[in-house]
A = this chain, B = another copy of it.
């Protein structure tokens, strides 16, 4: 058994886990279906009550004219950018160097749509207004990811968002929101989803991250835009005869969790404080602006792995199921607060962090 595997196993066997909503078992789908009538009719190729009702519900929530359910955000976002590029007759968009489309999609945007991205800002920081203003290339669309996941879930301040939005409108550049974690940022901005989305021409949101559904995404915007997205959805092979397993679970967990993101946010801030009090441990951002943050260790992956396993085994609390190398002497993991955090007794948590502090000191004395 390799070490990575044994950390994951140790994590799974703990009674209390700090991150997430629990493991992705099929009980998640069974629960979402339990109270639905057996006679409820499937959606059929994008039509029918199940899909139409949910699309309308999400359009209203996001304050957009229309919304379309997609099997994945990868598909929804490539299509959004393609539509804006076609409209402008220019196959160029801008986004952050650590954008999902750039690092997680096998270059689908380039290979399928022949769209060339301009990478804005350094990969270690957020896109600011100046990055947009100083851009030399003409682009059809700017994509902003809120929060910027790969750097710990950071957020620009709201004024920056407004300024970028105003600037893009003046320049005739479409602004697209990668809102995979839109729910997660509302407490920090103290805004509604519709208020945030009003700054953007098109918006994608995900249902399996903070919401904890099975899979699926919504793409929202003006009706002309969403209607065109349905044509591309068929071209991509995403216009399945039935999407209801994802829609019903998205709807179920949306209703169940949409009011809980303020709690997750507060818990994330508290947990980050615990981490930041430990020797050679720091969070990024230092104070979370959503339910997520990254934990960085001034120690090699292997040493932290051993500590995490020991914490699982001695406290029955799992901090993380994995740890990644940053350099030979540093490592990190991501934390996303979900339903599970609230179940951990405070005393347990304190014990965990006393142990972490002790172990971090031990390894720094050894080296």
Contact = CB atoms under 8 A, between A and B. Distances in A.
Interface of A: 23-30, 33, 36-42, 44, 70-76, 78, 105-108, 111-113, 208, 214-215, 231-232, 234-246, 248
Contact of A236 (B40, B42, B231, B237): B237
Nearest to A209: B241
Contacts of A27: 38-39
A196 B207 CA distance: 41
Nearest to A206: B241
A30 B25 contact: no
Contact of A238 (B26, B72, B76): B72
Given A106-B234, A236-B112, A33 B29 contact: yes
Count identical subunits in the complex: 2
B40 A26 contact: yes
A43 to B, nearest CB: 9
Contact of A244 (B26, B208, B244): B26
A99 B98 CA distance: 40
Contacts of A242: 24, 208, 214-215
Given A26-B38, A72-B238, A215-B240, 5 more contacts: A25-B42, A26-B42, A28-B42, A105-B235, A215-B243
Contact of A26 (B112, B214, B248): B248
B44 A25 contact: no
A107 B232 CA distance: 10
A48 to B, nearest CB: 9
A244 B27 CA distance: 12
Contacts of A72: 237-240
Contact of A215 (B24, B78, B236, B241): B241
Nearest to A237: B75
Contacts of A44: 24
A151 to B, nearest CB: 22
A37 B26 CA distance: 8
Given A25-B38, A30-B38, A215-B242, A237 B70 contact: yes
Contact of A240 (B23, B71, B112): B71
A5 to B, nearest CB: 13
A29 B34 CA distance: 11
